[in-house]
Structure 1
């Protein structure tokens, strides 16, 4: 993911920085669906994070809960 990111120039110009989290749902076959940012911040940074998430190949291994 680090190689796919571009810091938005508008956020850079405003001096915006920080950490954000992207929440996703992984299907049984490893596809990522419904990515969202629960604590939205700078619009441009949020959009870039979601864009990078969507670029990731659908090769996730879903978590299996054993009760």
Structure 2
């Protein structure tokens, strides 16, 4: 699997988890344990995306040498 496919897969998981969190929050409330768990899962997925994809893109901005 290439890097683009991996990023697209992760973005789909992020969107799915976000939708699930919103549905959970509507059913159980923002402070429910279920909503908090979904939020933490979403945080981890977003962190993975930042770590593996977004940070690498910022290193290749104009004016910075590619590493």
Q: TM-score, normalised by structure 2?
A: 0.34
Compare the two structures and name the one with the higher strand fraction: 1
Q: Relative contact order, CA 8 A, sep 6+: which one is greater? A: 1
When Rg is computed on C-alpha atoms for both structures, the one with the higher figure is 2
